[in-house]
Structure 1
C-alpha cells in the first residue's frame, strides 16, 4: 500500500529559494470502515502528482503490534486515526517535510502546488479553519464534536526536523489530551503557518464563489461523510468522488487481469 515515484523533490519556499528534499512522505489516516475512501484519496494524489511521493496508511492495528500505539479509543473518536495522526513526525524519522491527511479527502490538482507553499520557518502548516459544524452527528452516526481549531489537524504539513516537533514521541501521542494534540499546544501560534482554505475545502461549509476561481477546491474534505456512506451519497461534489472511485476500481481490476 506504499507507492514511490522517485528519490528527489524540489520544493520552492515562499521566500523564493529552491530546496532539494527527499521524496515527500504522505501519511493517510486509515480506518477499516473507510478503506475505499483511503484508496480513492491515494489514487487522486498519485495520478496528479508531478513530484515523487510515498504514501503510507496510518493503520492503528499495525502501530499497536509495533508497540507505537496503546491508548484506548475514546467515545469522541470518530475514526481510528483521531490521535495516531500525530505520530507523523516520528514515522518520518523527524526528517524533512511530511504530510498527514485524513482519508476522506479528494485531491483535484497536483500536490506540487501545495509543496510550493512550504516555508521552513514554520513547524507546521495547515488551513486555519473557523468552523463550527451545524450537525450533531457525522459518518454513520459518529458524534460531531466541537472544539477550537477544529479540522486544522485533518491536513497538516509537518516540518519534521523542527525542534518543537520532536516533542511528538509515541509516549506523548499516547498520553496527552485531545486539546493538547488537536490544538497544536506544543507550538506557539507564530510557528503554525497557514495555507489557503482550498487545500482543505470542507464540503457543506466552504463555498465556491461564482466567477472566482481562487475559491474552487484543490482538495475536497468530506468531513461530514462522503459518498461511500449511503446517507451522504448525494452530498456536494459527490460526483467528483464517484468518478475518481470508478477510475480507481477500473484500474485496480485491470491490474489484476494483467497479473
Structure 2
C-alpha cells in the first residue's frame, strides 16, 4: 500500500544542534545541514520544530506531583525525564528502559526487544510495589512500544501518566480510553499518516532508525517514504541525505546520539 503524503509533517530538528556542537557554524557540515533543512522546510505541508519548543509546550501545560517511579524509554526518554525533573521535581526515581523495536520479515509488523541482557519483563518489574508511574518517550506515533510496555506494568493504566515531546492526537485518545493521562509538548492533529506524521531529521541519515532482520537502515533508505514525505523534493533531499551521510562517515553512532539537554542548550 502506498504511503500517503500527510497534511502535516512535523520535522524535529535534531540535526542543527548536532552539527553546531560537533563541527561548528563555519563548517561544510553545518552549511550542508542548513541547506538540507531549507529544502525540507520549504515543503508546504512541513513544519520544523525543536526540542526547546516541545519542552516549552510540555512545561506550560503540566505541573505534576512526584511519581513513585519513572521509566524513560531509551536514552532519549531518560534524558527528557531528567530535563523535566529539573523543572518539576516530579521524577525522583528515573529508570531507563533499554528497549527497541525490530521489523518482522514482512515489514508491516514489529517485535519489541531488550537491548541488554536484562529482559523487558525484568526491567519493568522494577515498578513492583509502586502506586504511581510516569512513562516518558520522545514521540507517541502508533503507540506500539507504549502498549507493549503497559501490558507488562503491575498497575492499572489510570495510575499512569505518559509524557511525550510530540505525538499524534488519534493515538493519544486510545491511551486516554485506557484511563491514562497523556501529555504532549506538541500535539499533531487527526489520523496517523493521513492528517499528521512526524520524523526526526537525524533518522533520515542514521542507520538504526529502522531495525530489520537483515540489518539497520535510515529513513532515506526507504524510497517510498521519502516520496510520500517530500513529493516535490524527494530527489534533492535524498541527494543531501547521501551528502551528509558521507560527511558523517567517520562519526560513531554514539556521537550521533547527541543528548537532549545539549540540544535544548544549543537551540536557545
TM superposition score normalised by structure 2: 0.28
Larger radius of gyration: 2
Bigger share in strand: 2
TM superposition score normalised by structure 1: 0.28
Larger RCO of the pair (alpha carbons < 8 Å, separation 6+): 2
